[in-house]
Chains A and B, each alone.
Chain A
Amino acid sequence: MYSFDYQRPPTIEEAATALASSPDAKVLAGGQTLLPTMKQRLARPSVLIDLGGIAGLQSISRKDGMLVIGAMVTHHAVANSQEVKSAIPHLADVAENIGDPQVRNRGTIGGSLANNDPAADYPAAALALGATFKTSQRTLSAEDFFQGLFTTALKENEILTEIHFPIPKRFGYARFSNPASRFALAGVAVAETAAGVRVAVTGAGADGVFRVPAMEAALSKSFAVSAIAGIAIDVKLLGSDIHAGADYRAQLIKVMARDAVTMAAS
């Protein structure tokens, strides 16, 4: 690890100012990606701005028909929150199945979403639920927020503060894990909210998390496993690597979509 400075500002404004004052500053949310990268000397931030001291970022609440989760809420806290369990029970399950206990106790929902790892679970859940992303500057839709592999709409000095999840009629998420990393080879989230049915896929897309309009249309007509049985996934949308080719990922998406629908319908 290279040496770096460390700051723990008390407010989001001060954090944003600190972020703006150094071109190589990095936000430390949970550090579950950033710190290993730094230990391997693959990242060299000049200063880490720890958001852990900002009180408002660690709450979970229900507001205006939305489940609002602060960006610094850990996966463990989401998994064990009564608020989450009563509003979107299977979102708690998503959090419960991320990584291992160490990751869940340090990693945060904001950190995961802002990192937008193409194999992470939260992006699929947020995109399927049609979450909105509140930042230090503005509010973004999930479509606008996710911009491809490890890329989001967040600007240099912008900090994600809250995620607002519409409370769905039903929601389910199923993941097929990479046997080595246990990240998603294909993870499918399915949600029906007031805005309609949405299906989002993580782990498999060549360009990160994406929606499956054909499945959404079919499930809108009939929210049942049989509705999506014949829907093929275009392999051109999918990534291919030593763990899984696009053909296999396409198959896994079909199976995981079925399992997610079953979970949502139950």
Chain B
Amino acid sequence: MTNPSGIGQSVRRREDFRFITGNGQYTDDINRPGQTYAVFVRSPHAHATIKSLDLAEAAKAPGVRRILTGKDLAADKIGGLICGWMIHSKDGSPMKAGGHPALAVDKVRYVGDHVAVVIADTLNQARDAAELVNVDYDVHKASVDVGLTQKAGQPQLHAEAPNNTVYQWHLGDKDATDQAFAKAAHVTKIDLVNNRLIPNAMEPRAAIGEFDRGSGGYTTYTTSQNPHVARLVMSAFIGIAPENKLRVIAPDVGGGFGSKIFIYAEEVVCTWASKKVGRPVKWTSDRTEAFLSDAHGRDHVTTAEAAIDAAGKVQAVRVKTIANLGAYLSTFSSSVPTYLYAPLLSGQYDIPAIYCEVDGVYTNTAPVDAYRGAGRPEATFVIERLMEVSARQLKKDPAEFRVHNFIKTFPHQTPVIMAYDVGDYPASMAKALEMADYKGFPARRQASIKRGKLRGIGFSAYIEACGIAPSKAVGSLGAGVGLWESAEVRVNPIGTVEVLTGSHSHGQGHETTFAQLVSSKLGIPIEQVSIVHGDTDKVQMGMGTYGSRSGAVGMSAIFVALEKVIKKATTVAAACMEVPVDQVDFVDGIFEARGTNNKMAFGEVALQAYVAHKFDSSVIEPGLKEGAFYDPKNFTFPSGVHIAEVEIDPETGVTKIERWTAVDDFGTIINPMIVEGQVHGGIAQGIGQAMLEGAVYNDAGQLVTASFMDYCMPRADDLPSFDVGMTTTPCPSNPLGIKGCGEAGAIASPPALINAITDALGHENIAMPATSQAVWRATQQSALRHAAE
């Protein structure tokens, strides 16, 4: 019997009713009795010393409760924001990080940096008063350009980090790589910029801090992807309150894409200030503040080379990247261009030697941290541009060249940490080529040329490392935390189930997919299952949602807890049916005493577990509730092939995406509809990066793209219909075989699109975002080789 809400079914998202009927409960929807409002005074300068801060006039403004500055934080011994991943430079020295106070002390380092907070009875009063805070700045020159910030004579951001250099890190075998280059028959060299992106979740960040004088405890409501990590950081590192006196609630959260992983100044300040003010303190970001102060993504400058032998096999890859970390180190920023980046440079290819150097640098720009894909899109852009350009230079078919270099046996140890467990790369390529009608491309190109258009096709055979991550392994690489996940399965006496999970849901559909797992395992209807997340007082512990880890890690934890529940319930059922435990089978929600007509439904067993009338409670504990902490054994390695096909109007540079084929291997899929939605959304963001989006700071460090008038988000009419297919090799390292799907689209799509555009142009000289202007200018340089053919 097929369970209509079981694993593999496209169950409609149960959470959507409340979202689309306006019944969601987001942080800004929450209003606490006596609540006050915080407005942050932000630096209008990218780099300045605060000579004086005059609060007198603002303090007299109507409704003002308190105005707090960095000095007040220091007086209360509240620590600065932290970066939770220690990176060591190649010389063995620890990274050189400057302080990151939640409110600036003496110096501001980017436009939007926090100078003071004004707390008043109404939002408008707080805004009015914030305008009266008089800050006397000594404005310095700003260091804005990631490629220049390490050069002599550049303005220095932090005394701790000479030449604005946080670390000079490396990975791989330099000698082996250099030797392979010395012997290479062909060397491909490319220069790349991975453009800076601004996440723009639909719901801007928000926070409410509330202090309860009776208990001496704080509650923080915040837009977080990982409330337990927020509590851990605010307790153990920032020092607001011990964990048992700090409850963090992340209610409905309207998208994160990584930007809500981090612990920001605003939630820290609102929580701390709530005790000083004696009232709840609420802050909601407006869109401009979001542009200025949410952690941005990407922003790499890279030179990459491939050494290829006479047989067309890539023997080595050498990469040098400068990664912009912004003005301060955000929570996980140091790890993104290092351990989330370089270990993916092997792509899907059997490359014997890889060497990657990464300099992490400060600039007078907003902090840069993980954004959908986090390091892996950057790595995929490097390797997939390198493979495409190599194929072109060697006059080989780009698909065949890739297949020739694919890893074909597993497990496979790359030269850059990762041990790939399973995959079938030729299978996804073959399927993608067929779905994309690659054979028909030459005819389509000719038809385009006849109409005066340029047509190109581009590939991206991506891999990512998800299921982040085995705790011991990441600990050895510098992580400050373990990356397991926890789950608790509470069975109620009538057989309904609550699952408490540390995997926060902010758009992913966990309330549906996690319930599908429970429905499948326990054989009960999905309506009897509730998923609880986002509250440190309810959920025992958790590491949150990012890195496509909720399926592979979060659901594995639920799986293990469910196994324990079934084991316990089986002992109860056996006692009730008066048969030995090993004589009881559990099938489709029914416990059966083998060889008899005795059976008990799951709900009956649950009731018996709670009433405890039919078993010896000195042998079997009453109740039915189990928990699990699941630590992954390995990363998971989703992979696939995306093929983009574009037509360019050379007169305007308008690039129309004619076809998009995505074939992904995500292992086991719980809900195909939700997975397909994740693929669509990821591709949309990748197309945004490749064609539309790009944060622009001017030389003074002003963010020029600080609104949707200037920062171009992808819209439905910018996107084609996506042709999505799957191949499946179940992941062997977790019980469900899940690999993860949340970031694949954003990782795969930028190189596919740029490879297609450069194929159409006939030269490689275009950067992201490939706007219509950029493409038009490139067509001016182009020899219009196809037209000439």
Contact = CB atoms under 8 A, between A and B. Distances in A.
A248 B692 contact: no
Contacts of A242: 696, 704-705, 710
A102 interface: no
Contacts of B709: 180-181, 183
Interface string B276-311: 000000000000100000000000000000000000
B710 A179 contact: no
A180 B710 contact: yes
A126 B131 CA distance: 41
Interface residues of A, number: 18
A244 B773 contact: yes
B289 to A, nearest CB: 12
Contacts of A247: 777
Interface in B112-154: 124, 127-128, 131
A81 B288 CA distance: 38
A243 interface: yes
B776 interface: yes
Contacts, number: 42
A258 to B, nearest CB: 9
Interface string B650-671: 0111000000000000000000
Nearest to A254: B651
Interface in A18-69: 40-41
B711 A180 contact: yes
Nearest to B131: A41
Contacts of B131: 41
B718 interface: yes
A251 interface: yes
A243 B128 CA distance: 34
Nearest to A247: B777
Contacts of B652: 176, 251-252, 255
Contacts of B711: 180
A176 B654 CA distance: 10
A150 B373 CA distance: 43
Contact of A243 (B288, B651, B710, B776): B710
Contacts of A40: 288
Interface string B45-73: 00000000000000000000000000000
A243 B773 contact: yes
Interface in A210-266: 242-245, 247-248, 251-252, 255
B contact face: mostly helix, strand, loop, or mixed: loop
Contacts of B696: 242
B27 to A, nearest CB: 21
Interface string B371-400: 000000000000000000000000000000
Interface string A171-186: 0000010011101000
A contact face: mostly helix, strand, loop, or mixed: loop
A179 B775 CA distance: 14
A41 B127 contact: yes
Interface in B191-205: none
A41 B718 CA distance: 32
Interface in B681-713: 692, 696, 704-705, 708-713
Contacts of A183: 709
Nearest to B714: A179
Contacts of B128: 2
B226 interface: no
Contacts of B776: 248, 251
Contacts of A251: 651-652, 776
A252 B692 CA distance: 18
Most buried by A among B127, B128, B776: B776
Interface string B630-663: 0000000000000000000001110000000000
B772 interface: yes
B708 A180 contact: yes
Contacts of B692: 179-180
A107 to B, nearest CB: 16
Interface string A151-193: 0000000000000000000000000100111010000000000
Contact of A248 (B124, B704, B708, B777): B777
Contacts of B782: none
A181 B708 contact: yes
Given A242-B705, A255-B652, A180 B712 contact: yes
A236 B776 CA distance: 20
Which 4 pairs show the lowest CB-CB distances between chains A and B? A180-B712, A181-B709, A248-B773, A179-B712
Interface of A: 1-2, 40-41, 176, 179-181, 183, 242-245, 247-248, 251-252, 255
23 contacts: A1-B124, A2-B128, A40-B288, A41-B127, A179-B692, A179-B771, A179-B772, A180-B708, A180-B709, A180-B710, A180-B713, A181-B709, A183-B709, A242-B704, A242-B705, A243-B773, A247-B777, A248-B773, A248-B776, A248-B777, A251-B651, A255-B651, A255-B652
Given A242-B705, A244-B773, A251-B652, 18 more contacts: A41-B127, A41-B131, A176-B652, A179-B772, A180-B709, A180-B712, A180-B713, A181-B710, A242-B704, A243-B710, A243-B771, A243-B773, A245-B773, A248-B653, A248-B776, A251-B776, A252-B652, A255-B652
Interface of B: 124, 127-128, 131, 288, 651-653, 692, 696, 704-705, 708-713, 718, 771-773, 776-777
